[in-house]
């Protein structure tokens, strides 16, 4: 009976980890297809302005706030300790994702733009982990209301150490998936954009 105990413990831990964490009301999710677990789908930061603004103001603030910088992702997978020497041999791997245009769409008729960008999170888990968050933001001006919805939100760990770095992925909403840091990063971008317009 003892030999089955580790498997039971592992199974229990995996089951617990898929339970969703509490999320702000402006965050919508989609199911992963496994149990109760979900991914972040959209984050809605729509707001009303305190003064009259034009579509030109929207474009200027978007260009000022959102950036689509180059991203460098690293790992040390396949590093090893020599069997005889005891020396550590590090194989440093990196992949570079080039910078791109911030504006994906500018539609003057509907007063709508779609921007794409990325931003680093603050260091997490004792300062050991930093993620890049990439996103699209759809922004529409309707009278004095600004519809600001972040979508296609993904994360990539900057350096995964000894594990292979598989790049950008959907962001899980279970404990340990680092959704809170991603949400905080998007919140900070939304606040900067609102401040620019107001």
Per-residue pLDDT 10s for the chain (198 aa) are: 433 333 323 233 333 456 779 999 999 999 998 888 899 999 999 999 888 999 999 999 999 999 999 999 988 876 655 556 666 555 668 888 888 999 999 999 999 999 999 999 999 877 789 999 999 999 999 988 999 999 999 999 999 888 888 889 999 999 989 999 999 999 999 999 999 998
Helix (H, G, I), strand (E, B) or coil at 70: coil
Q: Does the residue 15 lie in any domain?
A: no
**Residue of 187, 158, 22 lying closest to 94 (CA atoms):** 158
Q: Does the residue 95 lie in any domain?
A: yes
Query: Do 161 and 78 contact (CB within 8 A), yes or no?
Result: no
Q: Does the residue 169 lie in any domain?
A: yes
What per-residue confidence (pLDDT) applies to 8?
29
Query: Do 44 and 28 contact (CB within 8 A), yes or no?
Result: yes
Geometric angle at alpha carbon 31, from 193 and 27, rounded to 5° = 25
Q: Does the residue 130 lie in any domain?
A: yes
Q: Does the residue 126 lie in any domain?
A: yes
Q: Can you give the CATH number for the domain in which 42 is found?
A: 3.30.530
Strand ranges in 37-130 using DSSP code E only, listed in sequence order: 38-44, 47-48, 71-75, 80-81, 88-89, 93-97, 103-107, 112-120
Please state, in angstroms and rounded to a whole number, the distance separating the CA atoms of residues 148 and 47.
Answer: 7
Domain that holds residue 151: 21-197
What per-residue confidence (pLDDT) applies to 12?
30
Q: Does the residue 165 lie in any domain?
A: yes
Query: Do 151 and 104 contact (CB within 8 A), yes or no?
Result: no
Q: Does the residue 73 lie in any domain?
A: yes
What per-residue confidence (pLDDT) applies to 157?
94
Concatenated DSSP letters of 14-35: HHHHTSBPP--TTEEEEE-SST
- When divided into structural domains, the chain yields a total of 1
> Chain-centre distance of CA 159, in angstroms?
15
What per-residue confidence (pLDDT) applies to 85?
60
Q: Does the residue 9 lie in any domain?
A: no
This prediction's pTM: 0.82
């Amino acid at each position: 009976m003892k030999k089955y105990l580790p498997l039971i413990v592992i199974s229990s831990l995996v089951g617990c980890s898929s339970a969703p964490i509490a999320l702000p009301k402006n965050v919508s999710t989609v199911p992963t297809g496994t149990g109760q677990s979900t991914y972040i789908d959209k984050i809605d930061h729509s707001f009303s302005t305190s003064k009259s603004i034009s579509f030109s103001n929207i474009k200027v603030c978007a260009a000022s706030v959102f950036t689509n910088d180059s991203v460098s992702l690293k790992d040390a997978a396949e590093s090893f300790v020599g069997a005889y020497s005891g020396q550590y041999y590090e194989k440093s791997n990196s992949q570079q994702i080039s910078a791109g245009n911030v504006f994906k769409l500018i539609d003057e008729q509907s007063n709508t733009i779609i921007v794409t960008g990325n931003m680093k999170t603050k260091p997490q888990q004792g300062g050991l982990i930093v993620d890049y968050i990439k996103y699209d933001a759809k922004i529409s001006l309707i009278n004095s209301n600004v519809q600001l919805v972040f979508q296609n939100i993904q994360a990539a760990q900057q350096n995964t150490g000894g594990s292979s770095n598989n790049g950008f992925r959907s962001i899980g909403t279970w404990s340990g998936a680092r959704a809170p840091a991603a949400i905080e990063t998007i919140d900070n971008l939304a606040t900067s954009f609102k401040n620019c317009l107001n």
